[in-house]
Amino acid sequence: MIMPRMVLVTGATGLVGEGVLRRMLGDDPALEVFALIRDDTSWARLSRSLGALAQRVVPVRGDITLPGLGLEPLVRRRIELQAAAIVHAAADTTFSRTLERARAINTAGTQNVIELAAECPRLDRLAFVSTAFVAGRATGVVAEGDNGAPAGWVNAYEQSKYEAEALVRSSGLPWTIMRSSTIACRDIDGEVTQINAVHRALRIYHRGLAAMMPGDRDNPLDVVTATFVSDAIARLTLDPRAVGRTVHLCAGRNALTLGELVDTAYDVWATETAWRKRRVERAMITDPETYRLFEIAVHQTGDPRLRAILTSLSYFIPQLALPKVFETTAAEELLGIEPPCSREFWLPMLMHLQATNWGHSTEKAA
């Protein structure tokens, strides 16, 4: 196993990036990290969170969207000379971005990282954190490799990450592409530290503001924990066998069905007296054509709030009707472990959302 002295991590203040940092520093007492930070506030928060591990983190101010990552020349030179690996986890994961905006951050930003990596003579690895949903509208078994994109994508995020993967593959660098599934919670205890599109969608259904979703009860729905993804990235970045490999950090065959995930959610909500009193019907899982008719009807009626809700869902909810199973053979071979079963953390995650009122109670406390 290679032992890089210095690792550059982009996106270190994000849920996955911070986990990678924590795992790498924890596993290797000799390791030091350059953490690309956009502002002092986010570094202060990260530093507090890392505790003693922060002593081996060098915060470097920069921005992946800027040429040369916006690094001071001397800082950049130091990174070029010392970096043995780069973990590029920074991304804009907002599904509703325009393609132009998503590309500016996720694709052009990756190109900027590749250009820096190309100037690092000691670099053993460019670890690119991607998304399993570069598969876009594809259905069926999704292989751990470049599968093309004949079916197109559901949102600009997926497309921009697909295009970024292509840049990484053609970079001539020792790369590893690690595709994360949708992150449901931090770990199997279900704690949610960062509200994402899945949680917001659950909130909408909990409030009874949307009553159907496209898909089939038997469709698999792949979700994972941030810890599983972070630990895997930390390990595979340092694993020479992973060079030139694309791996799925997904539940794969351990994914639950849409029907089970939805039923579990409504079962949890039904434990609330106030929710039960409202008699919210369970969301119907329906065919995409019927769901589309409903969307059109709402858009035609011009009700601004409902329109906004359906628009926000539209950036990812079509994936529910595009059943896919992410192959995890390569990931399991390299990691030597099975991905966690979604059943282990989906229920605790729902209970955490309920207990914290979707993060509102913790936000208020903070």
Partner 1 sequence: MIVRVSPNSKAMTRNDIPKQMGPAIAGISYAFPNGSRTVAELAGEAQLSSSAETLESFGFGSVHVAETETPYELALTAARQVLAETAVDPESIGLIIYGGTPGSMSFATAADSERAARDLCTQSRFKYPATRLQYDLDLPDAWTFAVDQLACTTLLAAARLARSLCLTEGIERALCVSAEFFPVNAGREAIFNCTSDAACAVLIERDGERNRLVSATTVTKGYYWDVDTLRDEIVASYFPTARHVLLKTIADAGWAPGDVDWIIPHNVSTRSWEILSSLVRLPKARVFSENIVRHGHTLAGDNFINYRGALDGGCIKPGQRVVMFSYGFGAHWTGVAVEA
Best CA proximity match to 180, nearest among 344, 16, 348, 11: 16
Chain positions 101 to 120 lying near partner 1, rule: CB under 8 A, are none
If the CB atoms of residues 2 and 296 are measured against partner 1, the closer one turns out to be 296
If the CB atoms of residues 267 and 303 are measured against partner 1, the closer one turns out to be 303
Q: Residue 299 Cβ, how far from partner 1 at the closest point, in Å?
A: 10
Here the contacts of 240-243 (C-beta below 8 Å, separation 24 or greater) are 240/1, 240/2, 240/124, 241/334, 242/125, 242/176, 242/334, 243/125, 243/174, 243/175, 243/176
Q: Residue 207 Cβ, how far from partner 1 at the closest point, in Å?
A: 7
75: exposed, middle or buried (C-beta count within 10 Å: 0-12, 13-18, 19+)?
middle
Q: Residue 278 Cβ, how far from partner 1 at the closest point, in Å?
A: 4
If the CB atoms of residues 215 and 252 are measured against partner 1, the closer one turns out to be 215
Alpha carbons within 13 A on the beta-carbon side of 71: 23
If the CB atoms of residues 141 and 296 are measured against partner 1, the closer one turns out to be 296
98: exposed, middle or buried (C-beta count within 10 Å: 0-12, 13-18, 19+)?
exposed
Chain positions 248 to 267 lying near partner 1, rule: CB under 8 A, are none
Q: Residue 353 Cβ, how far from partner 1 at the closest point, in Å?
A: 19
If the CB atoms of residues 100 and 281 are measured against partner 1, the closer one turns out to be 281
Q: Residue 315 Cβ, how far from partner 1 at the closest point, in Å?
A: 19
Out of 2, 151, 296, 337, which residue is the one contacting partner 1 (CB under 8 A)?
A: 296
If the CB atoms of residues 212 and 334 are measured against partner 1, the closer one turns out to be 212
Best CA proximity match to 297, nearest among 211, 215, 219: 211
Out of 115, 287, 338, 363, which residue is the one contacting partner 1 (CB under 8 A)?
A: 287
Q: What is the DSSP string of 83-110?
A: EEEEEE------TTS-HHHHIIIIIHHH
If the CB atoms of residues 141 and 297 are measured against partner 1, the closer one turns out to be 297
Using CB under 8 A as the binding rule, whether residue 290 contacts partner 1 is answered as yes
Q: Residue 53 Cβ, how far from partner 1 at the closest point, in Å?
A: 46
Angle value at C-alpha 308, between 306 and 314, nearest 5 degrees: 100
3-state secondary structure of 214: strand
The count of residues interacting with partner 1 (CB under 8 A) is 30
Piece in contact with partner 1 (CB under 8 A), picked from 62-70, 90-98, 176-184, 282-290: 282-290
Q: Within 10 Å of residue 44's Cβ, how many Cβ atoms? A: 12
Taking the alpha carbons at both ends of the chain, their separation in whole angstroms is 42
Using CB under 8 A as the binding rule, whether residue 218 contacts partner 1 is answered as no
If the CB atoms of residues 48 and 305 are measured against partner 1, the closer one turns out to be 305
The mark string for 188-217 relative to partner 1 (x by CB under 8 A, - otherwise) is: -------------------xxxxxx-----
If the CB atoms of residues 98 and 301 are measured against partner 1, the closer one turns out to be 301
Out of 48, 305, 364, 366, which residue is the one contacting partner 1 (CB under 8 A)?
A: 305
Which residues of the chain form beta strands (DSSP E)? Answer: 6-10, 32-37, 57-61, 83-88, 125-131, 140-142, 175-180, 182-185, 212-214, 220-221, 223-225, 245-249, 256-257, 284-286, 324-326
Q: Are 7 and 86 in contact (CB under 8 A)?
A: yes
- The residues that touch partner 1, with contacts defined as CB under 8 A, are 207-212, 277-284, 286-287, 289-290, 293-294, 296-298, 300-303, 305-306, 309
